[in-house]
């Protein structure tokens, strides 16, 4: 499951970035599109960023299913650190001056 998540997640993210960049390049020739190519590429980058967190969540689920509680606790702590880091970075980020 983990190998499949990493393999297909990487391919989907790469495809989103490729499609987004292609649409961004072809945008002047195709006319107005409802979805910006750069937005699609941004979704691909976000998928790359979320992939390690999703991996930790999958491992937590597998460890709990297998009743391997020490490793499940470790995965839960790592996931909590990732989530805490995200919220602290969002909370402490100050807006740029005008």
pLDDT at 65: 95
The three-state secondary structure class of 34 is: coil
pLDDT at 92: 67
The Cα 33–Cα 23 span in angstroms is 9
Q: Digits of tens for pLDDT over the chain (98 positions)? A: 888 888 999 999 999 999 988 888 887 666 665 567 788 889 999 999 899 999 999 999 999 999 999 999 999 999 999 989 888 876 666 666 66
The Cα 21–Cα 24 span in angstroms is 5
Instruction: State the pTM of this model.
Output: 0.69
């Amino acid at each position: 499951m983990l190998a499949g998540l990493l393999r297909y997640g990487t391919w989907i993210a790469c495809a989103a970035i490729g499609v987004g960049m292609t649409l961004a390049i072809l945008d002047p020739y195709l006319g107005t599109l409802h979805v910006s190519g750069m937005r699609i590429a941004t979704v691909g980058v976000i998928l790359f960023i979320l992939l390690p967190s999703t991996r930790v969540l999958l491992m937590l689920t597998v460890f709990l299913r297998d009743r391997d509680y020490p490793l499940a606790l470790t995965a839960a702590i790592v996931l909590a650190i990732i989530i805490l880091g995200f919220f602290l970075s969002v909370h402490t980020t100050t807006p740029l001056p005008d």
